[in-house]
């Protein structure tokens, strides 16, 4: 599931909102700040974020999803556009808990997505918020941090990466 492209969502039902609520529960238990549906075995183009407010202050967030509660955001069928040269930053992943490494990503992302009620929104973000949006969208496309890590980070994590590649 983690290596497959997730399916777009076209129905915004109570069942979908229940899936989202369960995803927030899982993310909270795991103490994460982002979780994509494929990480919990669901092939849907959906991810959730709960980026700390202090991390958002340094970002360029220009709007938030209409139904977002403080810190919690839902992104459905996101489309991203990037701005700026790639920059390194360490990343981890709930799906690969034993692996952390430097990943290169553009600093600014422009997102168009839908919320859990099917309402469209746009957002421009920098900082940790931008990085989280890009990381979780990668999951929707079957891409993992090990695919984007710098070579020194791949070497540092070579045993764990090798084990994953052989599974």
pLDDT tens digits along 79-128: 999 999 999 999 999 988 888 999 999 999 999 999 999 999 999 988 88
User: Once rounded to an integer, what is the mean pLDDT over residues 55-75?
Assistant: 60
pLDDT tens string 156-167:
888 777 776 776
Give backbone dihedrals phi and psi of 40, rounded to 5 degrees, phi first: -115, 20
Per the prediction, the chain carries an average pLDDT of 88
- Cα 12 to chain center, whole Å? 20
**Which residue would you say has higher pLDDT here, 71 or 133?**
133
Q: What is the pLDDT of residue 58?
A: 47
pLDDT for 48 beyond 80: yes
φ/ψ (deg, to 5) at 126: -130, -175
**Residue 100 burial by Cβ neighbours in a 10 Å radius (0-12, 13-18, 19+):** middle
Domain annotation for the chain: domains and CATH numbers: 14-166 (3.90.45.10)
Whole-number pLDDT of residue 65: 55
Does residue 38 carry a pLDDT above 90? yes
Confidence of residue 154 (pLDDT cuts 50, 70, 90): confident
Q: Closest by alpha carbon to 39, among 92, 82, 87, 109?
A: 92
Report the run of H or E that residue 79 belongs to, with start and end. strand 72-83
Residue 6: per-residue pLDDT = 97
Give the catalytic positions in this structure: 136
Q: What percent of the chain has pLDDT over 70?
A: 87
Measured CA to CA, the distance from residue 112 to residue 46 in angstroms comes to: 13
Pair of tokens at residue 159: 């045993």
> Residue 28: helix, strand or coil by DSSP?
helix
Mean pLDDT computed over 31-42: 96
pLDDT digits (tens, 9 = 90+) for 56-65: 544 554 555 5
CA–CA dist 163, 167 (Å, integer): 6
pTM, to two decimals: 0.87
* Structural contact between residues 66 and 122, judged by C-beta atoms closer than 8 angstroms: no
């Amino acid at each position: 599931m983690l290596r497959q492209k997730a399916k777009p969502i076209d129905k915004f039902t109570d069942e979908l909102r229940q899936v989202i609520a369960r995803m927030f529960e899982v993310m909270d238990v795991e103490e994460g700040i982002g979780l994509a549906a494929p990480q919990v075995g669901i092939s849907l183009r959906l991810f959730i974020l709960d980026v700390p407010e202090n991390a958002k202050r340094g970002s360029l967030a220009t709007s938030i999803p209409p139904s977002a509660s403080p810190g919690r955001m839902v992104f459905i069928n996101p489309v991203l556009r990037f701005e700026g040269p790639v920059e390194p930053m360490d990343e981890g992943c709930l799906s690969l808990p034993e692996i952390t490494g430097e990943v290169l990503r553009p600093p600014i992302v422009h997102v168009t997505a839908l919320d859990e009620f099917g309402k469209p929104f746009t957002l421009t973000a920098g900082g940790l918020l931008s990085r989280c949006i890009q990381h979780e969208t990668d999951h929707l496309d079957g891409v993992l941090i090990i695919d984007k890590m710098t070579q020194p980070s791949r070497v540092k994590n070579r045993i764990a990466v090798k084990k994953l590649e052989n599974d």
